Chain A
Amino acid sequence: MTTALFVVLAVTAVVAGALVFRVDSMARATFLLLLSFLAVAGLVLMTGLQYLGVVIVLMMVIEMVVMAVFMIMYMMNPAGLMPMSMFHNTRGAAVIAATTFVALAGGALLVDWPVRGGAPAPDLTMALGQSLMSGQMLTMMTLGVTLFATIVGTVVLAAGRGRYDRLGDELDAPESDDRDRGGVGR
């Protein structure tokens, strides 16, 4: 039963991931990628990491929907109206893919896997949280601040209008000049 489930999820993850490059619609490509990620989330759940598995589902659904918006906005063949190919640099990509596969598969088969020592924590979610909030605190803080700085920087670069456009060079305009009126503080 467990083996069958593993095989189904693993095959789904790989096949859906490969199909991403075969379909001729950005929407289908995005949601096939989502299907692939959901299968991976299933595999994570199978290892007993309930919280991480469910969080992968949560993150990936939101991410893929947002990504679909951007994919369709920026990439070729927005609505399946023109022939489209997802392949670029096929020869280089084939070499990289084959090398990676051989290295990973070889590693998995050849490495002398250690025998498990100790038992898993009774509550894996609690153990994960304690690890993140104590031993890995510095990592998480660095990650968090970096991501936050990236978001702020991206928004600053992307925003067409800022507070000086709204409230004048001295920020002292009696009323803000907004495209859409009637929001907060107006």
Chain B
Amino acid sequence: MSVALPLGWSVLLPVLLLAVAWAAVAADAVVAGRAAGRPVPWTVAAALPGREALRLLVGQRRRAVAGDELLRGVGGAVLPIAALLAAVVVPLGLRPVADLGAGIVWFNAMEVFAWAAVWLVGWGANSTLSLIGGYRFVAQGLAWELPHMFALITAAVGAQSLRVTDVVAAQQDLWFVVIMPVAFVAFLLSVAAMAFWGPFGAPLDRDIAGGAAAELGGVDRLVFMTGRWLLLVAAAAMAVPLFLGGGHGPWLPAWAWVLVKTLAVLAALVALRHRIPTIRMERWTEFSLVVLTPATIAQALVVTLVGLGEGGLS
């Protein structure tokens, strides 16, 4: 039983993701301007992503002495591709571009390519600060990946399926965020963390002069930064089918609900970003392993027991 969208949607998917990413970048600029006390008008913010992209397109690329250009190029290209491939299982409405039987695992597998991408970009530049940025991401990744996986598993257990459309179908009456709030929070945190964004921006932080992206200029930087925003959008969009009922909702058509909910998740992330400072890796690791991992395991256990109590495997 496959309900995948027609093949043409695979061309449209990057356009949709880019459009949402554009909106997220603009909203982020507005919120950042307000937080800094220098408000950015909406009109300026809306044009900002395009202006920045054009600036980077005509900008000079940067090459470090004796850098590993091949690995750096691969790393930079992998990031947006991983984001797009992760998004193919997200239902745009009630139907995804690819309705994979192991869709949740597929999403997980594609999104961890960010590990390789950021590390490769950091390594390939042959610069100390870049490399530190790459290592920071791996250190952070080891901490968020476990709670993230348990959050994914909890949603799968709740629906008793790894197919994302089944997870959406299981939420027709009750959104999973209600019965598995801990998993939802852990997932939301890992959305920001996998895009090394906001409080998890240490890999690209100012204290290491831009970190993994320090030596990126011109089109290299454009591809890398676009990949980062696409990853954030794809992961935020995945929160909708996993926890927020997917396309289910009154009045509006399914695709509109998915869009509204995705934008809401992104808005929450953007709003939080400017209220929470960057978290140091060792503090985040400790919190993640001592608090978040046991909490998500307990959440998975509760959902499993409830599932068994309601009649077990169907």
Residues of A within 8 A of B (CB): 25, 27-28, 31, 34, 50-51, 54-55, 57-58, 61-62, 64-66, 68-69, 79-80, 123, 125, 180, 182-185
Let me know if B199 is at the binding interface, CB within 8 A. Answer: no
Which single member of B71, B102, B286 contacts A28 (CB below 8 Å)? B71
Which residue of A has the minimal Cβ distance to B70? A28
Residue from the set B71, B109, B135, B141 with the largest chain A CB neighbour count within 10 Å: B109
Pair count A-B, CB < 8 A: 75
Let me know if B120 is at the binding interface, CB within 8 A. Answer: yes
Which residue of A has the minimal Cβ distance to B112? A61
Residues in chain A near residue B290, CB distance under 8 A: 183-185
Which residue of A has the minimal Cβ distance to B119? A65
Which single member of B71, B74, B282 contacts A183 (CB below 8 Å)? B282
Which residue of B has the minimal Cβ distance to A65? B115
Residues in chain B near residue A54, CB distance under 8 A: 100, 102, 105-106, 109
Residues in chain B near residue A65, CB distance under 8 A: 115-116, 119, 138, 141
Which single member of A25, A51, A80 contacts B162 (CB below 8 Å)? A51
Let me know if B38 is at the binding interface, CB within 8 A. Answer: no
Across the interface, do A51 and B135 meet the contact criterion of CB distance under 8 Å? no
Nearest-CB distance from B282 to chain A (Å)? 5
Q: CA A106 – CA B273 in complex, angstroms?
A: 60
Q: CA A31 – CA B120 in complex, angstroms?
A: 9
Across the interface, do A66 and B109 meet the contact criterion of CB distance under 8 Å? no
Residues in chain B near residue A79, CB distance under 8 A: 126
Let me know if B304 is at the binding interface, CB within 8 A. Answer: no
Across the interface, do B115 and A62 meet the contact criterion of CB distance under 8 Å? yes
Let me know if B287 is at the binding interface, CB within 8 A. Answer: yes
Contact mask for chain B residues 4-48; partner A; CB cutoff 8 A; 1 contact, 0 none: 000000000000000000000000000000000000000000000
Residues in chain A near residue B112, CB distance under 8 A: 58, 61-62
Given contacts A51-B162, A58-B105, A125-B101, is CB(A66)–CB(B138) below 8 Å?
yes
Across the interface, do A180 and B109 meet the contact criterion of CB distance under 8 Å? no
Residues in chain A near residue B286, CB distance under 8 A: 183-184
Across the interface, do A61 and B116 meet the contact criterion of CB distance under 8 Å? yes
Instruction: Report the 8 A-B pairs with minimum CB-CB distance, sorted nearest first.
Output: A58-B109, A183-B286, A57-B109, A51-B102, A65-B115, A54-B105, A184-B290, A50-B102
From 57 to 74 in chain B, residues with beta carbon under 8 angstroms from any chain A beta carbon are 66, 68, 70-71, 74
Across the interface, do A180 and B116 meet the contact criterion of CB distance under 8 Å? no
Residues in chain A near residue B108, CB distance under 8 A: 58
Let me know if B145 is at the binding interface, CB within 8 A. Answer: yes
Nearest-CB distance from A73 to chain B (Å)? 10
Across the interface, do B283 and A180 meet the contact criterion of CB distance under 8 Å? yes
From 71 to 111 in chain B, residues with beta carbon under 8 angstroms from any chain A beta carbon are 71, 74, 100-102, 105-106, 108-109
Which single member of B106, B119, B283 contacts A182 (CB below 8 Å)? B283
Across the interface, do B71 and A31 meet the contact criterion of CB distance under 8 Å? yes
